A and B are shown apart, each in its own frame.
Chain A
Amino acid sequence: MAPIEQLNLDFLRTKKLPHIWCPGCGNGIVTAALVRAIVRAGYDQRDVVIVSGIGCSSRAAGYLNFNTLHTTHGRALAFATGLKMARPQLKIFVIMGDGDCSAIGGNHFIHAARRNIDLNAVIINNYIYGMTGGQHSPLTPLGKKATTAPLGTLERPFELLELARGAGATFGARGIAAQPRQLEQLIARGAAHKGFSVIEALSPCPVAYGRRNKQGGAVEMLKAMKENAVSVERASNMDAQALAGKIITGVIFTREAPEFCELYYQLIEQESKKNSN
């Protein structure tokens, strides 16, 4: 594995620090991994735009020193789609939480995937609505407790990357806050990929999720995450029984398909040539 990148402090609004996240929250680790991934990708600071939705995860936009757009709940991908269509040269990272992306914003998520538009969606999945105090989301594992599911949720969660794959995304990867180096590299690979990239970053929420579900503190949660993680390469040699309850990390799928902005601008060029002839 390539060595870890330097955290370029110019890419952080250091005056805004310390951040508001609770002690033990993994959002800072994911945000730092994103910064290092941008360093790794070699992007000019002026070309990068961060778009975020609503929730704890979306506060990252306030700490990142790029053009950052804090948008409405669930709509980050729709904002980003407009931005990308108007300025296709921009490198756009869309930071969402599990509730933001897969509940209220679920519709935009599947349509961004269907179009295969060149956006990099980074979904910080902490299994819970953290900012409003711990309600279950569509990614809360079955049976886990939340303020809106005091006896454990009965609703089957989405398998986010399968949803993305089914809807047409062309790159899907999963990393964990307990392995920030891998996460950085996955975000960088997603950024290099032309098309809709989905990075699911699992992140501990000891306050709103861990405590209620007796998962211990931040250290225990990160440890458990690490112990349960299996690389996609290793997982390919394991049977379903051995994989039960495991977190498969790495590039889960990648494939080639035409990117939406390219198709769109090609069509315009083609039609304007026709008209000028």
Chain B
Amino acid sequence: MPVELITGNQAAALAVQRAGVELVAAYPITPQTAIVETLASLHAQGELKGEFVSVESEYAALACCSGAAAAGARVFTATSSHGLAYMHEMIHWCAGARFPIVMAGVNRALGGPWCLDPDQGDSLSQRDTGWLQLYCSSAQEVFDTIIQAYALAEKIMLPCMVIYDGFYISHTYETVDIPDREEVQRFLGPPSFAAQVQPGLPANLHGLSTGETQAKLVRERHRTMKEALAVLKEINARFAAAFNRKYEPVEAYFPGKIKNVVVAAGACADTVRWCLPRLADTGLIRLKALRPFPGEEISLLLEKQKIERIVVVDRNCSTGMGGILAQELKAALYPLNSPPAVYDLILAGGIDFTPQMLQRLLAQREPHRGFAEIWGVDLL
């Protein structure tokens, strides 16, 4: 397997190429643009077998992908921040129409004012749309997750966002194992889902429905999404057997007896992992899947430990409520008899998350009872 020194964005583009994607439609936006540029270059060299459509907006990109997915094609798009927000109507539509589209979402803050830093609020504000959301912590994981995302999306017929932090992952060079196209094709196979648009089978698709019909469709999507955790685990196991790299929807790193657990997603989780050997009594829960939400897995993990305090790293803020991962986590703590204190470390604006920041936070001697909100900007 060739190992290459590439960025997260290049890893995403190579995964798309290896996955045998049949159509790519995208529009430039920082920090995503390099994915599309790499794909355009591969296309020009004849190394991307699919079609490349350069569109007039992100909205058009996702609509274009939807059209191709309706015809049974494996499709890809990528965006960030305002581009993702601009797609919002189509994002709901793709889930409702059950198009197994895979999108790379590269985190960046939403304006105004304009900001390029990797706040996760762009993708988190799309968490209720019916898309699977998988957060990655390295360029290798970006590559692997895009491959897995096609297997998952096409199996359960729901679209999937593969999400990673702008700049920290999108623009940083890392060594990445890149399996060749044949190996990936052996794992993934060609798209096998049924085309909705089929010559000879005329149908009126996605027309007006009643609230009752809609309710049944939403229930079906919701149940499918919940069952997706098991499907994802199965895909992970198969992927590990083929490529020798293993991921879980939620990953725990508990070095011995611990009192603190840090919960994080994306690049921040990797920073915590680096810190673990340097910290006493501290473990990590890395959230890879946010939709479906692995709530039960999290409560099971915490139940077995005598945890005093959970620190949630939230590079986002739901204004008026607080960090979004902390909200989700609190739901997972509900079944516990004596839930630990929760410190919500809010890094809204996409500010840097440093080991020193975490150390300073954990050094606070008397844990708050219940819930505390800590702003990263105050710890800089």
Interface residues of B in 51-69 (CB under 8 A from A): 52, 54, 56-58
A72, A106, A129, A148: the one within 8 Å of B111 (CB): A72
Once the chains bind, are A150 and B111 in contact (CB under 8 Å)?
A: no
Once the chains bind, are A70 and B37 in contact (CB under 8 Å)?
A: no
Interface residues of A in 118-161 (CB under 8 A from B): 129, 131-133, 135-136, 138, 147-151, 153, 155
Once the chains bind, are A73 and B82 in contact (CB under 8 Å)?
A: yes
Tell me, rounded to whole Å, the shortest Cβ–Cβ distance linking A196 to chain B: 21
Once the chains are docked, how many angstroms separate the CA of A73 from the CA of B29?
Answer: 10
Query: Which A residue sits closest to B45, measured CB to CB?
Result: A150
Once the chains are docked, how many angstroms separate the CA of A138 from the CA of B27?
Answer: 12
Once the chains bind, are A135 and B44 in contact (CB under 8 Å)?
A: no
Tell me, rounded to whole Å, the shortest Cβ–Cβ distance linking A42 to chain B: 32
The majority secondary structure among interface residues of chain B is: mixed
Once the chains bind, are B44 and A151 in contact (CB under 8 Å)?
A: yes
Tell me, rounded to whole Å, the shortest Cβ–Cβ distance linking B103 to chain A: 17
Name the A residues within 8 Å of B211 (CB-CB): none
Once the chains bind, are A104 and B40 in contact (CB under 8 Å)?
A: no
Once the chains bind, are B56 and A106 in contact (CB under 8 Å)?
A: yes
Question: Which interface residue of B27, B28, B44 has the most chain A CB atoms within 10 A?
Answer: B28
Once the chains are docked, how many angstroms separate the CA of A73 from the CA of B41?
Answer: 25
Q: Does A190 contact B (CB under 8 A)?
A: no
Query: Which B residue sits closest to A71, measured CB to CB?
Result: B112
Q: Does B36 contact A (CB under 8 A)?
A: yes
Once the chains are docked, how many angstroms separate the CA of A176 from the CA of B254?
Answer: 65
Once the chains bind, are B57 and A133 in contact (CB under 8 Å)?
A: no
Interface residues of B in 1-49 (CB under 8 A from A): 27-30, 33, 36-37, 40-41, 43-44
Once the chains are docked, how many angstroms separate the CA of A146 from the CA of B365?
Answer: 57
Once the chains bind, are B54 and A155 in contact (CB under 8 Å)?
A: yes
Tell me, rounded to whole Å, the shortest Cβ–Cβ distance linking B58 to chain A: 8
A72, A74, A106, A135: the one within 8 Å of B33 (CB): A135
Once the chains are docked, how many angstroms separate the CA of A104 from the CA of B82?
Answer: 12
Once the chains are docked, how many angstroms separate the CA of A133 from the CA of B31?
Answer: 11
Once the chains bind, are A150 and B57 in contact (CB under 8 Å)?
A: no
Query: Which A residue sits closest to B42, measured CB to CB?
Result: A150
Tell me, rounded to whole Å, the shortest Cβ–Cβ distance linking B118 to chain A: 17
Q: Does A103 contact B (CB under 8 A)?
A: yes
Q: Give B333-365 as 1s and 0s: 1 = Cβ < 8 Å from A's Cβ atoms.
A: 000000000000000000000000000000000
Please give me the 3 A-B residue pairs with the lowest Cβ-Cβ distance, nearest first.
Answer: A150-B44, A132-B28, A103-B56
Question: Residues of A with Cβ closer than 8 Å to B?
Answer: 54, 70, 72-74, 103-104, 106, 129, 131-133, 135-136, 138, 147-151, 153, 155
In the complex, 25 of the A-B residue pairs with CB atoms within 8 angstroms, ordered by the A residue number, are A54-B114, A70-B112, A72-B82, A72-B112, A73-B86, A74-B57, A103-B57, A104-B27, A104-B57, A131-B30, A132-B33, A133-B28, A133-B33, A133-B37, A135-B28, A135-B36, A135-B37, A138-B56, A147-B37, A147-B41, A148-B36, A148-B37, A148-B52, A149-B40, A151-B44
Question: Residues of B with Cβ closer than 8 Å to A?
Answer: 27-30, 33, 36-37, 40-41, 43-44, 52, 54, 56-58, 82, 86, 111-114
